[in-house]
Amino acid sequence: GEDVEQSLFLSVREGDSSVINCTYTDSSSTYLYWYKQEPGAGLQLLTYIFSNMDMKQDQRLTVLLNKKDKHLSLRIADTQTGDSAIYFCAERGDTNAGKSTFGDGTTLTVKP
């Protein structure tokens, strides 16, 4: 079945850029998502990208997609302490409408 993998931890200093990486196996993935989860809360959709796009930028967030390598990344510019959270990568294909496969999440720690 589909698989999504992420590194488990990332630590950066406040003001630096953070890059969270994700790889997936489903070549028919149509939509790719990044979610943020703060402690004790549900997941918040941060941004998404269609598989026919290479890049999407939304304020401090930049998503890069390398479809050939099935590699997705999320760059957070000028990382703030409020960005500390768990970030989940997810993919969705054309089948099973709405059902996504999630990675295990990357815990981002931002140090002052």
Under rule CB under 8 A, residue 40 binds other proteins: yes
Under rule CB under 8 A, residue 33 binds other proteins: yes
Under rule CB under 8 A, residue 100 binds other proteins: yes
Cα dihedral 11, 14, 17, 22 sign: positive
| Alpha helix ranges (H) inside 1-100 | none
- How many angstroms from the chain centroid is the CA of residue 69? 16
Under rule CB under 8 A, residue 105 binds other proteins: yes
Under rule CB under 8 A, residue 64 binds other proteins: no
Piece of 19-27, 40-48, 60-68, 72-80 that binds other proteins (CB under 8 A): 40-48
The end-to-end CA distance of the chain, in Å, is 41
68, 69, 99, 112: residue in contact with other proteins (rule CB under 8 A)? 99
In the numeric block, which tokens belong to residue 16? 């630096």
> Which residue in the block uniquely carries the two structure tokens 């269609």?
50
Under rule CB under 8 A, residue 84 binds other proteins: no
Q: CA 36, CA 53: separation in Å to the nearest integer?
A: 21
Q: How many residues in the shown chain lie near other proteins by CB under 8 A?
A: 24
Contacts with other proteins by CB under 8 A lie at 31, 33, 35, 37, 40-45, 48, 86, 88, 90, 92, 96-100, 102, 104-105, 107
